[in-house]
Amino acid sequence: MPDADPVLLELYRHRLEGVADEMGVTLRRTSHSPNIKERLDFSCAVFDGGGALVAQAAHIPVHLGAMPASVDAARAAVDAWAEGDVVILNDPYAGGTHLPDVTMVSPVFVGTADAPSFFVASRAHHADVGGMTPGSLPLATELVQEGTIIPPVKLVDGGTRNDALLRTLLRNVRTPEERRGDLSAQRAAHTVGAERLQALAEAHGANEVTTYARHLQAYSERRTRAALSDWPAGTYAFADDVEVGDADPATIRVAATVQGDAITFDFDGTGDAVDGNLNAVLPITKSACYYVVQGLTRGDIPGNAGSLVPVSVTAPEGCLVNAEAPHAVAGGNVETSQRIVDTVLGALAQALPDRVPAAGQGTMNNLTLGGTRPERTEDVASGLRPGGSPFAYYETIGGGMGAHADGDGLSGVHVHMTNTLNTPVEALEQTYPFRIVAYRLRPGSGGAGLFRGGDGLVRVYELLVPTTATMLSTRRNRGPWGRNGGKPGAPGRTVLIHPDGREEELPAHVSRTLPAGSRVRVETPGGGGFGTPADKDAS
């Protein structure tokens, strides 16, 4: 392969990242659910013909780091690719993460090649895919309870949609028309991605485009190895706990070994998979480790397969962070991924004390609400929100970011493995039969220190119809840790306010069917402080 022209290399970086960005814009604009359209709970990426990541949009870390496993699973399931193919999957034990994250993979043919030169992929969190409770994040003990399981299979074969498969999928969810719209939006994003890659090949030649995709991967590997070679060699260990319902907390242990221009994360000693849904499959664990390394290597290194090569991740089979079927995994994607990040950062703080912040809120505060809209004449007549139709809402709620060596943590933001927006109150109240009666910062919840941790949020939902509410969260018993003498952030709380005004504090993992007039108040954790408070007083 000839040497890369540095100007062309930078151009192709932005051209290929632009393809993923435009896929994301298309997915957002054509989607139906507020979870995708408003919260942006989706990710898009471009892969080469061998299934290696080439470019990604600035979407969700927990999606993107695990998406290569989905592309590998799709490629393994298809003997021969054709123009117009779309493979769909969500099986966590066959390339997925958790069941609500539905992934699609499509081949892209450029020039005269008989085999795909690229693949485009999207992953979107669908607000309901069936299962025990609305929103498909139930307090399950095995995977089949969490929703419809989709192994890698062609939803579209050579441009022809498999309507029997689509009908089967839609029959097994609570909100079929919303799901139909969001699946169509993913297909539209793939069409745009394929068209943009083919246009690049027509304008500049297929050979140049594929060659510079490889150049970008090689460049990212060189940059990442150069950054890692500046880290102090050694093995750095840390452990942190995850709350597991009423049981004892599960412990995650990691040993991070920096050697030369590479790093290995070994999770030996981590607790066994649990009976609940906080188990994580290995691609999630890898994704969390990749995220930390990419964040700490600094510099503007393109995120692709090359940047992942110097990072190795191992974990014992059957442990919490490398679960095996049929364990439930809905919470592993959203909660355990956050604690893996905290644990890895705790280890690397020993090597890079000025770069690693205190712990952020460490949870996504996953709230799902679902039920049936009331039968109202005006709704039926409008055709927009038919009376008696089911609804399913999902949201992650921001909190405090950990303070760091250069300043305070941010307040009321999503941290680490989630990168979504909040759903605007106007969008919620227009779509669902509940209202937001309070949404504000939680003053004083950030940990004290030379620099304070960011404050969490308070969000109060008033239910207008009988509703099944499920909260899946952590950092309720112990707040996020501080660093260098900084104090921990305040733990989170979930409070049920009964229609008669009586308040009841709920556990971290809870699912209840609540009467109309109930209110759910979510108080999210603050971030940990950095440095001793006495140092701040002295200054």
pTM score over 0.75:
yes
Q: What is the pLDDT of residue 245?
A: 75
CA–CA gap between residue 344 and residue 385 (Å, rounded):
46
Mean pLDDT of the residues in the chain: 93
For residue 155, pLDDT over 90 is answered with: yes
For residue 383, pLDDT over 70 is answered with: no
For residue 437, pLDDT over 50 is answered with: yes
For residue 375, pLDDT over 70 is answered with: no
Strand spans (E) along 408-529:
434-442, 456-463, 467-472, 493-497, 503-506, 509-514, 519-523
Interacting residues of 7 by C-beta distance below 8 A, sequence separation 6+? none
- Per the DSSP assignment, residues forming a β-bridge with 89 are 103
Q: What's the maximum distance between 2 C-alpha atoms anywhere in the chain?
A: 74
CA–CA gap between residue 483 and residue 532 (Å, rounded):
9
- By DSSP bridging, strand 118-125 and strand 42-48 are antiparallel
CA–CA gap between residue 102 and residue 340 (Å, rounded):
23
Nearest alpha-carbon partner for 56 in 342, 330, 291: 291
**Chain segment 180-224, per-residue pLDDT in tens:** 999 999 999 999 999 999 999 999 999 999 999 999 999 999 999
For residue 96, pLDDT over 80 is answered with: yes
For residue 539, pLDDT over 80 is answered with: no
Half-sphere exposure of residue 58: CA atoms within 13 angstroms, side-chain side: 6
Q: What is the pLDDT of residue 418?
A: 85
Q: How many residues does the chain have?
A: 539
CA–CA gap between residue 350 and residue 158 (Å, rounded):
53
- Please report, to the nearest 10 degrees, the dihedral formed by the alpha carbons of residues 164, 165, 169, 175 taken in order: -50
Q: What is the pLDDT of residue 298?
A: 74
Among 47-61, 66-80, 390-404, 440-454, the minimum mean pLDDT is found in: 47-61
**Chain segment 19-37, per-residue pLDDT in tens:** 999 999 999 999 999 999 9
CA–CA gap between residue 221 and residue 306 (Å, rounded):
4
Q: What is the pLDDT of residue 300?
A: 87
Q: Which two tokens stand for residue 53?
A: 């990541």
**Chain segment 156-188, per-residue pLDDT in tens:** 999 999 999 999 999 999 999 999 999 999 999
Helical segments of 274-376, H only = 282-296, 305-308, 330-331, 337-348
SS3 259: strand
